[in-house]
Structure 1
Amino acid sequence: MSHQYTVALKKIINDLNLQVLYYPQTEEEILVSHAELMRPGLAFTGFFQGFVPARINMIGRTELAYLETLPPHLLRQSLEGFLSRSPKAVIITQDFSFRPLFLELAEKYCVPLMQSPENTTHMAAQLNAKLSLELAPRTTVHGVLMEIYGEGVLLTGDSGVGKSETALELLKRGHRLIADDAVEVRRVSNTTLVGSAPDNIRHYMELRGVGIINVSRLFGVGSVKNTANINFVIQLEPYDTEKVYDRIGLEEETTSILGLKVAAATIPVQTGRNLAVIVEVATMNYRQRAMGNNSARELMEQLGLSDDQN
């Protein structure tokens, strides 16, 4: 059974700068476990099929316009029918005239009530992104996550292979560090992986013989970033004389993280090789392929050879 992650409602309130109209006084933390939002338009008419109390409900201009048309007794009936089903929380994105009634019923049924000055569409987008990140399936990967030419590049490999040293040289060349040693990877959608560092080691790096360094202090705040999409994985490994390495680049390697395929490359580590430059070139080559250009195939076509003749 897959693990179900949660996020504290107070964290959502703080991160999105929501105004709290009512918050239940309870010893237990209110936790959100559903990433999907609900727009309770039909619920106000008494239709509750498909209503999921565990979701956050967002009320915008359309719902409020409908409620404003109701006579007082039907307005109370509609709001009470909705709030009595104990939705996880309610966010309102417009001003409304019946605030005292809404507050009275929210307190009666212990439903957190918040308001935002943001446009409903913008607020929904922000909340969806926040919940998708906080509640996403996740794993921790041993490696270094860098942003190179705008691409999130995950460097992996055994301890001592040179990941941190390569990352240090990349930092000196103007690229940015997201995480060193432990990379928290979250699958925020069916196409996107987001990587970050654990809070307690964010922006720190370990270098053998030097110790722990604070990257943001040594290189400046422009050298670090809190999160990045993982677009490309580079596996660093000691050079193996028995292994045949790809020297042409026709085959496009991939690796799987949390069930998603990610473009990948394997780079053998040898004394004298400038790994930082090689990683930069590999990243630029990945970007070129993502735009539909494959240098190896172009060369094969110029030579009049097919892929299976190499």
Structure 2
Amino acid sequence: MNSPVVKLSNLINKMKLENLTPEIDITDIEINYPDINRPALQLAGFFDHFSHERVQVIGNVEYAYTSTMCESAKVAMYEQIFSREIPCLVYARSLEPDDEVRKLAIKYNIPLLSTKKTTSDFMAEVIRWLKVQLAPSISIHGVLVDVFGEGVLIMGESGIGKSEAALELIKRGHRLVTDDVVEIRKVSDDTLVGTAPDITRHMIELRGIGILDVKTLFGVESVKNTQTIDMVINLEDWDRDKEYDRLGMDEQYTEFLGNKVVCHNIPIRPGRNLAIIVESAAVNYRQKKMGYNAAKELYNRVQRNLMKGRTDAAKEEK
């Protein structure tokens, strides 16, 4: 599992922040914690449990409070904050620090940034973005395709036909996310997001043909940069001696980064149309999410038929 970090420069570019201290070199400054801290208690002198590793944000409340402090007290509080090596200090609502605070920031090499957004809006956007960027991640071998809005991760041994199935799905109007290598991020306890490595994005490999640029061949509507992983299709060679699930009453799962994902093991034989199978699996998954389960419906029909047969038999005996 990787331990990702985010460059402060990427945060500045993503959130369109204004750098109030261009004198400071931000090249090597990294963020490795997705939450944000408003240092109101620290400005009041309470530094126990101070989350100094987080991005620090000054809003209207903190700014108004420091304006009531005498200059020496304000400088002393900011100096204590800066001395704890925070990654940066962001002023919301286009607020700006005074010259003394700016000088302290330069002294301790702490970038001062500014945003036009309100404090709450800015914090919500940054936390959401950082949680994705800093989520635990792994890379696996497979193909990720968006099928009817469901993220289908196709897995299986090399050469079994994953890329060919993905190409047929693309021709049928679905979208490729990544081929060969899938980077999976755990953005929450319920959500896994898959992306492609930058170097292979929108590319697909077909044995005997080589590398295809899907975006160029089929257009921008045929590709997608990210997609939640909703289900897994595991392709395997047909084994006559193996018992395969034919009803689907009990869900099978596979696990990535502690999150369980519905998994279907599909046996491969010549003549099976993998694209239609994957489409059907995706539609069936959508039906189950909407409350309809075809396997349970069949089971209920059989039970009703059995009960009706027993009732009719009892009537005939009478």
- The TM-score with structure 1 as length reference comes to 0.92
Match of 2:128 in 1: 129
Q: Which residue of 2 aligns with 1:109?
A: 108
* 1:39-90 Cα deviation digits (max 9, x unpaired): 1111110111111222211222222232233343433333233223221111
Structure 1 residue 108, shift from structure 2 partner: 1.9
RMSD: 2.0
SS at match of 2:179: strand
One-letter amino acid of the structure 2 residue matched with residue 72 of structure 1: E
Per the alignment, residue 316 of structure 2 pairs with none
Equivalent residue of 1:42, what SS? Answer: helix
**Secondary structure of 2:303's partner?**
coil
Match of 2:194 in 1: 195
Cα distance, 1:3–1:97 mapped onto 2, change above 3 Å: closer
Segment of structure 1 superposing worse, 163-172 or 115-124: 115-124
Q: Which has the larger radius of gyration?
A: 2
Residue equivalent to 2:50: 51
Checking the alignment, whether the CA contact within 8 Å between 1:24 and 1:111 is kept in structure 2 is no
TM-superposed CA distance for 1:198, in Å, is 0.7
- Report the Cα offset of residue 149 of structure 1: 1.2
1:50-129 mapped onto 2 (5 Å cutoff): 50-96=49-95, 98-129=97-128
Q: Which residue of 2 aligns with 1:283?
A: 282
Supply the distance in 1 between the matched residues of 2:57 and 2:173 (Cα, whole angstroms). 42
In 2, the alpha carbon distance for the partners of 1:262 and 1:7 equals: 28
Q: 4+ residue runs of structure 1 moved beyond 4 angstroms?
A: none
Percent of aligned pairs sharing the same letter: 43
Deviations 1:173-198 (A, max 9, x none): 11111110000111122221111111
CA displacement at 1:133 relative to structure 2: 2.1
CA distance in 2, matches of 1:76, 1:48: 15
Cα–Cα, structure 1 residues 222 and 122, in superposed 2: closer, same or farther, change >3 Å?
farther
Matched residue of 2:40: which SS? Answer: coil
- Name stretches of at least 5 consecutive residues in structure 1 with no aligned partner: 306-310
Contact map agreement 2:164 2:206 (CA 8 A) in 1: yes
Matched, 1:157 2:170: no
Whether the 8 Å contact between 1:24 and 1:110 is mirrored in structure 2 is: no
Aligned residues: 305
Paired residue secondary structure (1:22): coil
Gaps of 5+ in 2: 305-318
Whole-angstrom CA distance in 2 between matches of 1:75 and 1:267: 66
1:237–1:269 Cα contact (<8 Å) kept: yes
Give the whole-Å Cα distance in 2 for the aligned partners of 1:111 and 1:276: 54
What pairs with 1:178-217 in structure 2 (closer than 5 Å)?
178-217=177-216
- How has the CA–CA distance of structure 1 residues 24 and 253 changed in structure 2, closer, same or farther, with 3 Å as cutoff? farther
